[in-house]
Amino acid sequence: MAWKDLKEFLEVLEGKGDLLRVKSRISPRLEMSEIAQRALRADGPALLFENVEGSSLPVALNVLGSPRRIAMALGASSIEEPAEKIRRLLRFRPPAGLGAILSDPGGTIEQLSQLRALAPKRVSKGPCQEEETDRPNLEELPIMTGWPKDGGPTITFPLVVTKNPETGDQAVGIYRLQRYSSTTLGAHWQTHRAGAENFRRYQRRGEKMPVAVVIGADPTTVFAGLAPVPEGISRFAFAGFLRGESLPLVPCRTVPLEVPAASEIVLEGWVDPKETHLEGPFGDHTGCYSLAENFPVIHVTHLTRRSRPVFLSTVTGKPPTEDAVLGQAVTRLFLPVVQAVLPEIVDLDLPQEGILINVAIVSIRKSYPQHARKVMHAIWGLGQMMFTRYIVVVDHDVDPHDHREVLYRVGLQADPQEDFEHVFGPVDQLSVSNRVENQGGKVGIDATKKWKEEGYPRAWPEEARMDPAVVAKVDALLRSDPDLARLRPSSPPNARS
């Protein structure tokens, strides 16, 4: 089922008791941020602030701040369902010639036409243009300040739409936008992002760049906005795939871009190729303030909106945060994509504490010498995973989500002299400890068991494991002997009567 819009999603959440309407008067400066963080840490509901100081618009926060709401946003009961959909899609192979097509009625052709039917569809009108003005005033929007030393109020959860001037292809990404004035915003697209690449293209042409900023859309589309889709695949098309229904797009009123017709608020404007302005500091997902730096400036020249829009926002900071929860869902969803390229990968964990860009733990089915190193280098060449500063590789029988076991394997099985692979390369713009911005060291730790062929000269010790017959006998004893009953493993809470 495809969500019509953000409001429909919020209403359903409310029906399930998973939305809290905050009626007290709350300031968008720090107060909302603190309340949202408490809701997230308590695995609490989504929040709708209805009485916002300084603005007539309600603000939705923590909307995708739990795995259950993310699954719901994707029309599923768990993230594994859409992941399986992706896995099935990746199994699809185009037919090798007309003969194959003709001998495969209902198979390949049906899949192809289903995919085509999910492409975005153009519509001439949409709720996001119920009202409009060519005198937008950003001061009237309930833009949050998340942390005390932030450089200014910042739109934190927008879908920023830009376009490649050579191909006309649109790019969509979530990039924060600091409000500088009633009509200008700082465009914090980091240097590796599609928005930054498009901006460089306009700079080379000496032309100003059109931009559209979508604040609030149906939750599946918002999720698609941050998903690491392979280059060249449109995030609006990916939203259609996740929705199981194509996403209606409407042309903007004053810029040559298209936005989801059911969006809440759309800011239209232009970026001067020569203009920059100091952006930040900003409390971002490293948990630190990112330093103030120059970024391009969006001049907002037109605003369209629903007559009663909801302003969607989020709080970044040290995990746990909404974007960390989202990051983990993205990892589960895209595991099939990673495995399509690297089939030896059994499982992958990007711990929240590693803020997606710092730490990856991967289990592999090792089948040749130095296989772990091959996987490390492949990950460093894989889309946004190129930023990973620490990669730990373990054998297939180690659960990468079990961090105690992983630490045990690293300490036991990785020799600091032999099994660390140091490289130097691009790192995320927000990375902190690298001496030069955007460049830094990375290390892969091979914590797999070592083989003779890898130059390990000694016999690898066998793990000491109990005889299964003895385990079974002691299990039975613990069940039958009341004195030993207290040694029984405690039953899981949901198994208790």
- Interface contacts to ligand FMN, rule CB under 6 A: 156-157, 171, 173-176, 188-190, 193-195, 226, 228, 314, 316, 323, 326, 384
Question: Is residue 46 classed exposed, middle or buried when 0-12, 13-18 and 19+ CB atoms within 10 A define those classes?
Answer: buried
**Catalytic residue list:** 284
Nearer to ligand FMN, 107 or 381 (CB): 381
Nearer to ligand FMN, 49 or 238 (CB): 238
Give the pair of three-digit tokens for residue 350: 């990007």
Q: Least separation, in Å, of the C-beta of 326 and ligand FMN?
A: 5
Tell me phi and psi for residue 198, to 5 degrees: -65, -40
Nearer to ligand FMN, 284 or 344 (CB): 284
DSSP string, 105-131: TTTHHHHHHHHHHTS-EE-S--GGGSE
Cα(487)–Cα(274) distance, rounded to whole angstroms? 71
Q: Least separation, in Å, of the C-beta of 240 and ligand FMN?
A: 17
Give the ranges where 300-418 is alpha helix by DSSP (H). Answer: 322-341, 371-379, 403-413
Nearer to ligand FMN, 27 or 384 (CB): 384
Give the ranges where 267-351 is alpha helix by DSSP (H). Answer: 322-341
C-beta separation of 463 from 475 below 8 A: no
Nearer to ligand FMN, 37 or 316 (CB): 316
Q: Least separation, in Å, of the C-beta of 192 and ligand FMN?
A: 6
Give the torsion through C-alpha atoms of 407, 413, 415, 419, to 10 deg. Answer: -90
Q: Least separation, in Å, of the C-beta of 161 and ligand FMN?
A: 11
Q: Least separation, in Å, of the C-beta of 436 and ligand FMN?
A: 18
Nearer to ligand FMN, 171 or 345 (CB): 171
Cα(192)–Cα(163) distance, rounded to whole angstroms? 16
Q: Least separation, in Å, of the C-beta of 8 and ligand FMN?
A: 22
Location of structure tokens 């191909």 = 167
Q: Least separation, in Å, of the C-beta of 428 and ligand FMN?
A: 9
C-beta separation of 396 from 363 below 8 A: yes
**Residue in 359, 442, 109, 84 with CA at minimum distance from that of residue 242:** 84
Give the pair of three-digit tokens for residue 134: 């060519």
Cα(26)–Cα(56) distance, rounded to whole angstroms? 12
Handedness of CA 226, 230, 235, 237 (dihedral sign): negative
Nearer to ligand FMN, 108 or 190 (CB): 190
C-beta separation of 300 from 182 below 8 A: no
